[in-house]
């Protein structure tokens, strides 16, 4: 029942996001359709004919009221129609987004997972070696990396490893000379191109996970049940297993939420490394005022956060017995 | 016998400039035999929990030794003592944080049974149920529950069952009933005593409440601690009816009488001050001197040692008044 309610809330949130982005985008200065209309008028095309031309080109009537546009948009959206791009004339938005999403998903899920496990490992080690040089050093490092935004890390990596050392390729996510498909060459090329952006993610995120794991693990170590394990003569492996299990629980929600949020965080890294993912699409479509694409991408990004939130809530009650809903 | 000999426990406390040592337990020697009860009584912060952990094999003493049935604990280079330390189980004050929130009662109980192969694998389930029954719980009701689904009293029983699962010879119960509802405290205490008696378990009962101590250790011994030291030690009856140390008298005076003509009548003694000195800045002489209503000049110069009261074997006090009295007699 609760799951159902949460699902309903998630749907309503998505609707709100759709509506808000629709109107916000139209409040932004610069309007390619209006510009095109003006250009046609200046070229001496009669206004009636210009409108028809614009409609053929962009599938919109520039003088239509915003409310009507909104209703039309919603109607189309409900039928899975995200509209067509106004920059790449005639290309439907959905395939554009579907082509970009896998790259973002790939980078975010791998980057997040790696950083999470590095953070978990370091956090537990720090908690176990409290007040030693290891704790001091690693805690400092984690705080520093926690503070550096990932586009800076990305930029430094890019410059150092491609420009100076020339170890990794610059830009794109695979070698355009290779035909995309499930061939060894293609997968290898993608892997090669992903190393730097994933490394940039990991460096941007592991500090946060380290610090949260550390505080969670220290709380667990301070709990008496850790002592109870010891006094019953359980091995250090068993004690460690309990420590990790209990420390991971409070991090789980954050992990799933990050999955959603990092779709958006991909903007900077994807721009830095010119990866044709969702973040890149956000940047380019915004620069070009490609309304339908912008709308579509924002919807997907916000949707990812909302879905992640829903998943986090629903799954957490399954892995932590203390939460029963 | 579980005994500690001249145990000192120091902690380093961090200060802005470096760190300094505080002595939390200072030259304490106490012991308890199988099926006997030893109560450790003292105000908050006097080092009871620390002493309990040292006795239970959890915290190595800075100086001194702990032995259980002749085996030396904390033996550097010989890990075998850890196996022996299983004989001593600690029951902690807070039944909320001492159970792992993500384990069911069954998991909690069966883990050590499996690990130490206390019973054959096929009998583990049965043993869990048996342990719960022994502590007065209905296995069917509680065995698959998580700690948060249990009441405080139920949890404390699970904690007791868990301690019993490794078949201990000694139990150190640190304020074991202070978090239990007052209404079920007595029942819990009786359960402790009954099980200890039946299994011939030696019980170290740590409490700040003289009333409880008196109930639990009726035939046992009481050690009164003050700022890390034992200031008086003796049979329960003796300590309660003929207290010698002013601090013991102060503690006894603070028990509210349950009814008129309650069976022990001592002259009420009140301390000169209610401030307990900091462990970091102890007085040069007797640690109780700043609060003692009977203090005289000698008390300020040197610390009295724990020594047997004249004509009362087994009754020890660390107070100069004893010398004065014997001198007068
Ligand atoms: N790990 C530690 N590091 C530094 N100081 C400690 C540590 N553990 C205990 N202490 C100090 O030792 C003193 C005695 O602590 P302990 O917990 O043994 O007292 P207690 O008699 O059990 O008190 P209570 O009745 O409040 O439980 C306290 O002043 C405490 O601050
Ligand atoms: Mg204590």
Position B260 pLDDT exceeds 70: no
Q: How far apart are CA B151 and CA B160, in angstroms?
A: 14
Task: Compute the distance between CA of residue A198 and CA of residue A113 in angstroms, rounded to an integer.
Answer: 10
In this structure, how many other beta carbons lie within 10 angstroms of the beta carbon of residue A99?
A: 12
Distances (CA, A) of B259 to A210, B217, B218, B246, B264: 59, 21, 19, 24, 11
User: Region B22-34: what's the mean pLDDT?
Assistant: 92
Residue of A nearest to B82 (CA): A233
Tell me the shortest Cα–Cα distance from A242 to chain B, in angstroms.
8
Out of 1.10.132.20, 1.10.3720.10, 3.30.360.10, 1.10.10.10, select the CATH number for domain A97-324: 1.10.3720.10
- How many Å apart are CA B100 and CA B5, to the nearest integer? 33
pLDDT of residue B328: 45
- DSSP for A16-55, please give it: HHHHHHHHHHHHSS--HHHHHHHHHHHTT--HHHHHHHHH
* A234 to chain B, closest Cα gap in Å: 7
- Positions in chain A short of pLDDT 70: 1, 28-33, 56-63, 89, 175-181, 185, 265-266, 324-325
Contact status of B218 with chain A (Cβ, < 8 Å): no
Cβ of B112 less than 6 Å from ligand 1: no
pLDDT band at B315 (very low <50, low <70, confident <90, very high): very high
Sorted by where each begins, the domain ranges of chain A are 32-81, 97-324
Rounded CA-CA distance B106/B146 in Å is: 9
Residue of B nearest to A228 (CA): B98
CB of B157 closer than 6 angstroms to any ligand 1 atom: no
For the CA of B53, the closest atom of ligand 1 is 18
Q: Residue B231's pLDDT is what?
A: 94
User: In which region does residue A213 sit, left (phi positive, over 0), alpha (psi from -120 to 50) or beta (all else)?
Assistant: alpha
Mean of pLDDT values over B222-232: 94
Contacts of A132 in chain B (CB under 8 A): none
pTM here? 0.79
Q: CA–CA separation, B12 vs B224, rounded Å?
A: 25
Whole-number Å distance between alpha carbons of B144 and A10: 34
Rounded to 5 degrees, φ, ψ at B230 are: -85, 120
SS3 call for A98: helix
The gap from C-alpha A109 to its chain's centroid, in whole angstroms, comes to 9
Q: Which CATH number applies to B2-87+168-323: 3.40.50.300, 3.40.50.720, 3.30.70.1070, 3.30.470.10?
A: 3.40.50.300
Instruction: Answer whether B53 contacts ligand 1 (Cβ < 6 A).
Output: no
Listed residue (B2, B3, B29, B24) closest to B13, CA to CA: B24
Q: How far is the CA of B45 from the centre of ligand 1 (A)?
A: 5
Q: Which residues of A touch B94 (CB under 8 A)?
A: 224
Nearest CA to ligand 1 atom 28: B45
CA-based nearest distance B190→chain A, Å: 23
Percent of chain B with pLDDT over 70: 95
B292, B321 Cβ separation under 8 angstroms: no
Q: Alpha-carbon torsion A241, A198, A256, A125, what sign?
A: positive
- Nearest ligand atom owner, CA of B10: 1
Amino acid B325: pLDDT:
56
Q: Any idea where the domains of chain B sit in the sequence?
A: 2-87+168-323, 98-167
Question: Cβ of B8 under 8 Å from any chain A Cβ?
Answer: no
A173-205 pLDDT, tens digit each: 776 666 666 777 677 777 777 788 888 888 888
Measured from the CB, is residue B46 less than 6 Å from ligand 1? yes
B116-123: Cβ within 8 A, 24+ apart: B116/A233, B116/B86, B116/B166, B118/B165, B118/B166, B118/B167
**Separation of alpha carbons B288 and A235, rounded Å:** 43
Residue B52 CA, closest ligand 1 atom number = 18
Instruction: Give me the pLDDT at residue B206, please.
Output: 94
Spacing, Cα B46 to ligand 1 middle (Å): 7
Name the residue with the closest Cα to ligand 1, atom 29.
Answer: B45
Q: Tell which residue, B44, B39, B152, has the closest CA to residue B95.
A: B152
Q: Searching chain B, which residue's CA lies closest to the CA of residue A225?
A: B98
Whether pLDDT at B327 is above 60:
no
Which of the listed residues B4, B7, B24 should we mutate to test ligand 1's pocket, taking the one with most ligand atoms within 8 A of CB? B24
Q: How far is CA A287 from the centre of its chain?
A: 19
Q: Determine which residue's CA is closest to atom 24 belonging to ligand 1.
A: B44
Q: Residue A137: exposed, middle, or buried by beta-carbon count in 10 A (0-12, 13-18, 19+)?
A: exposed
Distance from CA of A249 to the nearest CA of B (A): 10
Select the residue of A228, A234, A246 nearest B102 (Cβ to Cβ). A246
Give B101's contacts in chain A (Cβ within 8 Å).
225, 246, 321-322
pLDDT at residue number A63: 67
> Quick one: tokens of A213?
């794991």
User: What does the pLDDT look like over B175-215, one tens digit per residue?
Assistant: 888 877 888 888 888 998 999 989 999 999 999 988 888 88
CB of residue B279 inside a 6 A radius of ligand 1: yes
């Amino acid at each position: 029942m609760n799951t159902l309610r949460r699902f309903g809330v998630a749907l309503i949130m998505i609707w709100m996001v759709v509506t808000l982005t629709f109107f916000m985008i139209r409040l932004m200065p610069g309007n390619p359709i209006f510009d095109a209309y003006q250009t046609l008028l200046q070229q001496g095309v009669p206004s009636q004919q210009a409108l028809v031309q614009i409609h053929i080109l962009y599938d919109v009537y520039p003088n239509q009221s915003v409310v009507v546009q909104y209703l039309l948009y919603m109607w189309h959206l409900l039928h899975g129609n995200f509209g067509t791009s106004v920059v790449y004339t005639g290309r439907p938005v959905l395939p554009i987004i579907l082509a970009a999403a896998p790259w973002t998903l790939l980078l975010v899920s791998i980057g997040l997972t790696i950083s999470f496990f590095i953070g978990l490992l370091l956090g537990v080690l720090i908690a176990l070696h409290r007040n030693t040089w290891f704790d001091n050093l690693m805690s400092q490092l984690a705080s520093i990396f926690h503070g550096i935004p990932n586009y800076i890390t990305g930029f430094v990596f890019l410059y150092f490893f491609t420009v100076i050392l020339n170890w990794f390729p610059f830009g794109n996510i695979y070698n355009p000379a290779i035909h995309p498909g499930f061939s060894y060459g293609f997968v290898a090329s993608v892997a090669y191109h992903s190393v730097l952006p994933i490394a940039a993610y990991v460096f941007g995120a592991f500090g946060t996970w380290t610090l949260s794991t550390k505080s969670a693990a220290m709380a667990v170590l301070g709990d008496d049940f850790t002592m109870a394990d010891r006094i019953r003569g359980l091995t250090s492996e068993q004690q460690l297993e309990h420590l990790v299990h209990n420390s991971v629980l409070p991090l789980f929600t954050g992990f799933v939420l990050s999955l959603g949020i990092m779709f958006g965080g991909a903007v900077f890294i994807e721009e830095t490394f010119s990866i044709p993912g969702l973040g890149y699409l956000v940047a380019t479509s915004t620069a070009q005022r490609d309304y339908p694409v912008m709308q579509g991408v924002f919807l997907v990004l916000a949707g990812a956060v909302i879905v992640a939130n829903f998943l986090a809530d629903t799954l957490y009650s399954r892995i932590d017995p203390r939460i029963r809903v | 016998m579980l005994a500690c000999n001249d145990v000192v426990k120091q902690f380093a406390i961090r200060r802005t400039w470096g760190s300094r040592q505080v002595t939390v337990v200072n030259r304490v020697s106490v012991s308890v035999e199988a099926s006997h009860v030893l109560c450790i009584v003292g105000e908050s912060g006097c080092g009871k929990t620390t002493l309990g952990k040292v006795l239970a094999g959890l915290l190595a003493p800075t100086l001194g030794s702990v032995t259980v049935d002749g085996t030396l604990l904390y033996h550097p280079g010989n890990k075998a003592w850890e196996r022996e330390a299983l004989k001593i189980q600690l029951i902690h004050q807070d039944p909320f944080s001492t159970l792992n929130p993500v384990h069911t009662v069954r998991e909690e109980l069966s883990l050590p049974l499996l690990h130490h192969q206390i019973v054959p694998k096929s009998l583990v389930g049965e043993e869990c149920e048996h342990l719960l029954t022994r502590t007065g719980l209905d296995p069917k009701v509680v065995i698959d529950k998580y700690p948060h689904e249990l009441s405080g009293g139920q949890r404390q029983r699970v904690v007791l069952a868990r301690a019993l699962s490794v078949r201990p010879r000694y139990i150190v119960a640190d304020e074991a009933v202070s978090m239990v509802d007052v209404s079920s405290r007595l029942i819990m205490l009786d359960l402790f005593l009954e099980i200890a008696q039946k299994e011939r378990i030696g019980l170290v009962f740590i409490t700040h409440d003289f009333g409880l101590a008196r109930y639990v250790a009726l035939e046992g011994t009481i050690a009164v601690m003050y700022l890390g030291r034992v200031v008086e030690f003796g049979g329960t009856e003796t300590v309660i009816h003929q207290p010698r140390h002013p601090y013991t008298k102060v503690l006894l005076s603070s028990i509210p009488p349950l009814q008129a003509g309650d069976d022990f009548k001592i002259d009420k003694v009140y301390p000169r001050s209610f401030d307990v000195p900091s462990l970091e800045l102890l007085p040069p002489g007797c640690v109780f001197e700043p609060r003692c209503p009977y203090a005289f000049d000698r008390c300020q110069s040197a610390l009295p040692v724990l020594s047997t009261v004249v004509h009362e074997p087994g009754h020890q006090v660390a107070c100069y008044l004893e010398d004065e009295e014997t001198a007068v007699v």
